[in-house]
A and B are shown apart, each in its own frame.
Chain A
Amino acid sequence: MVTDISSSKTTPHMETPAAPATFKVNVPSSSTKLPATTGTLIDIDNLDFYYGAKQALFDVNLKLDDKRVTAFIGPSGCGKSTLLRCLNRMNDLIDGTEVKRGSIKIRGVDIYGKNVDAIELRKRVGMVFQKSNPFPKSIYENIAYGLRIQGQNNKVRLDEIVEKSLRGAALWEEVKDRLHESGLGLSGGQQQRLCIARTIAVSPEVILMDEPCSALDPIATAKVEELIHELKKEFTIIIVTHSMQQAARCSDKTAFFYMGKLIEYDDTRTIFMNPSNPQTEAYVSGRFG
């Protein structure tokens, strides 16, 4: 069952929490004020996606808001990472994958269309991976990498962007004295923030995060989450996460996937407090998954 409720349903806040007492998550209070969204940025329409003969996504319909954090949650193998990787066509790298039906439009342009170059797309839609993957280069070169491949070799300009990106990723103070040491010498959390800095250095519009905190300790996780909060002023963020607390803490909207289908998509608060689908309720209350 697919429920596209993004446009139709605006559930009023209910006083009685729907989540049972066995499992509690902190949801953002309804008073949180957000700058007005400029509307839908990414429009996923009737998407069917295949790994070879195996269908991974079934008729997904989703409208993702600009300058918002959207979380994809769901049990392992539910297709949330697959969908995320569809958004910057990283799935192209895997042999035999195919979008058989439907479309993904970013600002109205079908990214699987004939006139779209995946290289140009990925410059606009950056990605942070589950396992932090700084290149075995210096911190500086890690950040400059994306600019250098675009032909930017002006030292002054590079210095400027490196600093700006590191500040943007809340890493500048920690690494400013060792910019030319290897990025692999950083701690796990710093490495992940370095990867985020590397991504924002090429100034994308969208940042995809594929379980960015799954390998981090709680303190590093908190820092990344804080960062996500800052970043959404400038970027549209889509985050896949296994941690429901994380989805609740840092996302504005949440989409719940199960078995390759989008089950429910709504404001994060609604998903966690008052889900309309029993499967969603079972998942967010910790009864399966």
Chain B
Amino acid sequence: MSEPSNPFATKPSTGRSLEKVVLGIFRAATYFVLLCGLAIFADIVLKGLPTVANAFKTTSTFPYVTNTFLFEAPESLYVFEHEGKKLEMGDREFRAFREAEEAKAAAAKQPAPKFKPESYVYSAGGIWPCIVGTVLLVVGSMSIALFLGVCSAIYLNEYAKDGPVVRFIRLAILNLAGVPSIVFGLFGFGMFVIFFGWNVSLMAGWFTLAFMVLPVVITASEESLKAVPKGFREGSLALGATKWQTIRKNVLPYALPGILTSSILGIARVAGETAPIMFTAAYVVRDKLPWDVEKSADFFFQGVMALPYHIYVVSSKIPQNEYTARVQYGTAFVFLGIVATIAMSSIIFRNKLRSRYKW
């Protein structure tokens, strides 16, 4: 008795083989992208992590431990040979060292020692002012962008009658999203810095960055408002609620998780953009911290240091060598960490909101 012939057996054909090839290409492309991403992250983490990890230092005051890279201002790095040893020191340390050596020499009635240091700017100390500046820029610009963006999304989606005008506004918003960030930077420079006379300041940076992310925030807010079922609005209106009551109590709370999702995207962009702030808000170096101001109004009209701009400065304005690489990679690493932290906390917040309203 022979086996019954199997009508379901695979029938090889060129079409089938082609399918396998295509699948292979898809898979390879995905893995390639993944690999590139991993390579970049691994490079930054591996080279940047030691900078942060090696900068822990104990102190005599509370909290007894600090991180010189994270919590100190940038300094110049001095590299020199002294008594046959190669030494590296930050600016303050070097001055103290030199004075001590000179005093020692004077005490011993010897000629003052000569140091011939090579100096590298910003390569010692830390990036505390940049971290502060970046956080301030992100918080301020996202507040402005969310307020303006959510308001206009509500207007466009809930109030405005669909027509040529609204369609034109939407098109304009979409086009705005495609404008290169350097153009926003120049716009902010012309508008806020020069015309409004705000100078290079937090305010100018906030508004420039806010305008840059507005299209993303508006588009995504509109999408999340649209995703709220029409039945909720109708149900509320049919109970005699006004339009604003309906939106405030029965639409906006449900759209909020989606709006936050979009703003996470915005945060990453705002934190990361260099071009818009280099004309409007960022200083290469600034000794004072932002809260170190005479009048509280001055707070808004001061320039700050910012991480992305600092990365740009340390990677393009100073030589590349073993002494500068530490701060270059370290800054990039901290920057990635901060963006990841902000994004993560937004995601957690969003998920919390989402689990409260489900439909």
Contacts and interface: CB of A to CB of B under 8 A. Distances in A.
Contacts of A133: 229, 231-232, 234-235
- Which residue, of B237, B238, B245, B359, has the highest number of chain A Cβ atoms within 10 A? B238
Contacts of B239: 122-123, 126, 145-146, 149, 198-199, 202
A190 to B, nearest CB: 16
B234 A136 contact: no
B242 A129 contact: no
B240 A129 contact: no
A128 B47 CA distance: 64
Contacts of A90: 234, 237-238
B230 to A, nearest CB: 9
B254 interface: yes
Nearest to A130: B231
Q: How many residues of B sit at the interface, in one of the four size bands?
A: 20 to 34
Nearest to B240: A123
A148 B246 CA distance: 12
A86 interface: no
A173 interface: no
Give the bracket for the number of chain A residues in contact with chain B: 20 to 34
A202 B235 CA distance: 13
Contact of A135 (B235, B237, B240): B235
B194 interface: no
Given A129-B231, A136-B357, A136-B358, A199 B241 contact: no
A186 interface: no
A195 B238 CA distance: 11
A135 to B, nearest CB: 6
B92 interface: no
A135 B229 CA distance: 10
A10 B161 CA distance: 47
Central interface residue in A133, A145, A184, by most chain B CB within 10 Å:
A133
B236 interface: yes
Nearest to B233: A93
B240 A93 contact: no
A149 B241 contact: yes
Given A135-B232, A136-B358, A184-B358, A122 B249 contact: no
Interface in B211-259: 229, 231-232, 234-242, 245, 249-250, 254
B162 interface: yes
A120 interface: yes
Interface in B21-63: none
Interface string A18-61: 00000000000000000000000000000000000000000000
Interface string B147-174: 0000000000000011000000000000
Nearest to B230: A133
A237 interface: no
A6 B128 CA distance: 83
A1 interface: no
Nearest to A121: B240
A220 B284 CA distance: 71
Contacts of A223: none
A119 B162 CA distance: 23
A120 B236 CA distance: 13
Contacts of B254: 136
Contacts of A93: 234, 237
Contact of A150 (B232, B237, B240, B249): B240
A239 interface: no
Interface in B323-338: none
Contacts of A150: 240
Contacts of A120: 240
A199 B231 contact: no
A105 interface: no
B359 A136 contact: yes
A131 interface: yes
Contacts of A122: 237-240
A284 to B, nearest CB: 30
A199 B359 CA distance: 20
A254 interface: no
Contact of A146 (B161, B162, B240): B240
Contacts of A195: 235
Contacts of B359: 136, 184
Contacts of A126: 238-239
Nearest to A88: B238
A225 B119 CA distance: 88
A202 B359 CA distance: 24
Nearest to A126: B238
Contacts of B231: 129, 131, 133
Contacts of A145: 236, 239, 241, 249-250
B133 to A, nearest CB: 40
B358 A182 contact: yes
A119 B240 contact: yes
A119 B241 contact: yes
A83 to B, nearest CB: 16
Contacts of B162: 95
A127 interface: yes
A95 B161 contact: yes
A247 B158 CA distance: 36
A202 B240 contact: yes
Interface of B: 161-162, 229, 231-232, 234-242, 245, 249-250, 254, 357-359
**Nearest 3 interchain pairs by C-beta:** A133-B231, A123-B240, A146-B239
13 contacts: A95-B161, A119-B242, A122-B237, A126-B239, A129-B235, A129-B238, A133-B229, A133-B234, A135-B235, A135-B250, A145-B250, A149-B245, A199-B238
